[in-house]
Amino acid sequence: MRDRYDRKINYIRLSITDRCNLRCRYCMPNGLSDWVPMRDILSYEELLDVARAAAALGITRFKVTGGEPLVRRDCPEFIGELKRIPGVEQVTMTSNGVLLTRLLPRLLENGLDAVNVSLDTLKRERFSEITGMDELPAVLSGIDEALRAGLKLKLNAVLQPGVNEEERWELLSLAKDRPLDIRFIELMPIGHGKDSRPVYNEILRSELKERFPGLERDERVHGNGPAEYWRIPGYRGSVGFISAMHGKFCGSCNRIRLTSTGKLKPCLCYGNAVDLMPVLRGERYLGREREGERIAALRKRIRQAISEKPESHCFERLSEISEERIMAAIGG
Site of interaction with ligand SF4 (CB under 6 A): 20, 22-24, 27-28, 66-68, 96, 118, 327-328
Residue 164: name its binding partner from ligand SAM, ligand SF4, none (Cβ under 5 to 8 Å by kind).
Answer: none
Among 10, 17, 90, 95, binds ligand SAM (CB under 6 A): 95
Among 10, 118, 121, 259, binds ligand SAM (CB under 6 A): 118
The residue at minimum Cβ distance from ligand SAM is: 193
Q: Binding of ligand SAM at residue 279 (CB under 6 A)?
A: no
Among 190, 204, 279, 298, binds ligand SAM (CB under 6 A): 190
Among 76, 132, 142, 193, binds ligand SAM (CB under 6 A): 193
Residue 226: name its binding partner from ligand SAM, ligand SF4, none (Cβ under 5 to 8 Å by kind).
Answer: none
Taking the complex as a whole, how short is the minimal distance between the CB of residue 25 and ligand SF4, in angstroms? 9
Q: Answer for the pair 263, 194: CB distance below 8 angstroms, yes or no.
A: no
Residue 188: name its binding partner from ligand SAM, ligand SF4, none (Cβ under 5 to 8 Å by kind).
Answer: ligand SAM
Q: In angstroms, rounded to a whole number, what is the distance separating the alpha carbons of residues 150 and 166?
A: 30
Looking at beta carbons only, is 180 or 188 nearer to ligand SAM?
188
Q: Which of 271, 250, 246 is nearest to 259 (CA)?
A: 271
Among 17, 47, 66, 325, binds ligand SAM (CB under 6 A): 66
Of 2-10, 89-97, 167-175, 216-224, the window that binds ligand SAM (rule: CB under 6 A) is 89-97
Q: In what order do the strands lie in the sheet with 263-265?
A: 216-218, 228-231, 239-242, 181-185, 152-157, 114-118, 90-95, 61-65, 11-15, 255-258, 263-265, 274-275
Q: Tell me the CA end-to-end span of the chain in Å, nearest whole number.
A: 22
SS3 per residue for 30-41: CECCCCCCHHHC
Eight-state DSSP code of residue 194: G
Q: Binding of ligand SAM at residue 260 (CB under 6 A)?
A: no
Looking at beta carbons only, is 19 or 294 nearer to ligand SF4?
19
Q: Binding of ligand SAM at residue 143 (CB under 6 A)?
A: no
DSSP 89-156: -EEEEEE-STTHHHHHHHHHHTT--EEEEE---S-HHHHHHHHSS--HHHHHHHHHHHHHTT-EEEEE
Residue 142: name its binding partner from ligand SAM, ligand SF4, none (Cβ under 5 to 8 Å by kind).
Answer: none
Q: Is 32 exposed, middle or buried (0-12, 13-18, 19+ CB in 10 A)?
A: middle
Q: Which of 35, 55, 79, 86 is nearest to 302 (CA)?
A: 55
Q: Binding of ligand SAM at residue 237 (CB under 6 A)?
A: no
Q: Binding of ligand SAM at residue 110 (CB under 6 A)?
A: no
Q: Binding of ligand SAM at residue 92 (CB under 6 A)?
A: no
Beta strands in the chain (DSSP E): 11-15, 61-65, 90-95, 114-118, 152-157, 181-185, 216-218, 228-231, 239-242, 255-258, 263-265, 274-275
Compute the Cα dihedral for 72, 77, 78, 83 and give only its sign.
Answer: positive
Residue 158: name its binding partner from ligand SAM, ligand SF4, none (Cβ under 5 to 8 Å by kind).
Answer: ligand SAM
Residue 28: name its binding partner from ligand SAM, ligand SF4, none (Cβ under 5 to 8 Å by kind).
Answer: ligand SF4
| Interface residues toward ligand SAM, by CB under 6 A | 20, 26-27, 65-66, 68, 94-96, 118, 156, 158, 185, 187-188, 190-191, 193, 327-328, 331-332
